[in-house]
Structure 1
Amino acid sequence: MESFESDSPQEQRFVRLFAQTQRALHAYIVALVYDPNVAADLLQETNIVLWRRFADYEEGMSFLAWARGIARRTVLNYRRSSARQIATLDPQLLEELATRLSNIAEEPISRLEVLNECLRKLKDTDRQLIMARYEPGNSVNSMADKLSRPVNSVSQSLSRIRRVLADCMERNVQAAQRCAD
């Protein structure tokens, strides 16, 4: 097995920056595609591009911000080429989401990771309902029509799901902070 010490300084620098950002980069991609399996594939594609284009990375700039830019383009390319994707976001909305996520300060406990974990814990029907609510063009009224349910019923279900998510996030953030202390 090859020794890490024999790697070039550039390779060592890449590996260090790469290792520090993988979890945050994965959470970022999951937030854009909502499917952990697709996100894992897109993360691998992003990692390949990161390695190939590492010479373009400028010392002093945020490696995570640079990596997120590459990940965003990887996700956009995936969305363009994937006609089978059921729930796609408008490219302009995706761009805005990517920009907002890129501006989130790095926290020891990523709220985005916590949210994704809490979303995974929801019942499938609840997760589908809350995800559908935030698709472009969807409103509570249009969802009620599609589901053949009263508007008030859909609204109450969404409120209940949001409370469950908020409680889950609060518990997980507090637990992670206790472990970090």
Structure 2
Amino acid sequence: MDKDRFLTLFLKHERELAGIARAALPDWNAVDDVIQEASLVMWRKIDQLQADDEFIPWARMILRFEVLKYRRSCSRDRLLLDDDLVSLIAVESKDDPAEFVQQQRSAVRECLKRFSPDHQRLLLAPYTRDDAVKEIAEAAGKTANSLYKRLGRLRSKLHDCVRLQVGAAT
């Protein structure tokens, strides 16, 4: 593929790629960084691209690897989605990534309402501070390990609820 055609395709689909990246990254600055890195990789691998209709799957694959690379570099940040959810978003966001993300957010909000305030607090604790679960355990007179086990069960229930909500919306 020639460079002019690549640039045309990239510019045409840049917003779509940014939407996909935003679904997996914490903010727009990270999206900009990842899109820039992905575009450099694409530019270097331009010879792999043969036809216009191959651009989106090819670009998504490169973008996915760049997102994962960025996430590994920020792995200590607990506000990032886990890699399984990022993969799920990448697979299921084929039509309209912005709509899919909105459906996910709405489903999470609705499903969280079904949990007691204590369970909501526990579900959200790991995303606030590193030691939040430990503090909750100490305040409740329980071990952190027991709360992490409960957290795992609650996350599983939340995951099931979100899948049902998103499935019902499609």
Q: Indicate the TM-score class for this superposition, using the shorter chain for normalisation.
A: 0.5 to 0.7
Q: Provide the secondary structure at the position in 2 that maps to 1:93.
A: helix
What are the Cα deviations for residues 55-103 of structure 1, in whole angstroms up to 9, with x where unaligned?
A: 11231533122111111110111111223422232222211111111x2
Pick closer, same or farther for the CA change 1:63–1:30 going to 2, 3 Å.
Answer: same
Q: Could you say which residue in structure 1 is the equivalent of 2:43?
A: 51
- TM alignment of 1:80-159, pairs within 5 A: 80-101=72-93, 103-104=94-95, 111=99, 115=102, 130=109, 140-141=115-116, 142-145=119-122
Q: CA RMSD in A?
A: 3.3
User: What is the TM-score of this pair, normalised by structure 1?
Assistant: 0.54
Q: Could you say which residue in structure 1 is the equivalent of 2:15?
A: 23
2-structure distance, mates of 1:47, 1:15: 10
2-structure distance, mates of 1:66, 1:82: 25
Q: Could you say which residue in structure 1 is the equivalent of 2:4?
A: 12
Pick closer, same or farther for the CA change 1:13–1:74 going to 2, 3 Å.
Answer: same
Cα pair 1:42 1:74 within 8 Å, conserved: yes
2-structure distance, mates of 1:92, 1:83: 14
Which consecutive unaligned segments of at least 5 residues does structure 2 have? Answer: 126-135, 137-170
Amino acid at match of 2:3: E
1-structure distance, mates of 2:53, 2:95: 16
| Percent identity between the two aligned chains | 28
Which consecutive unaligned segments of at least 5 residues does structure 1 have? Answer: 1-8, 120-128, 134-138, 149-181
Cα pair 2:9 2:52 within 8 Å, conserved: no
2-structure distance, mates of 1:88, 1:111: 20
Amino acid at match of 1:82: C
Task: Tell me the number of residue pairs that the alignment of Structure 1 and Structure 2 aligns.
Answer: 118
1-structure distance, mates of 2:33, 2:10: 17
What are the Cα deviations for residues 88-125 of structure 1, in whole angstroms up to 9, with x where unaligned?
A: 32222211111111x2169xxx6369x4xxx9xxxxxx
Q: Could you say which residue in structure 2 is the equivalent of 1:126?
A: none
Runs of 4 or more above 3 Å deviation:
110-113, 144-148
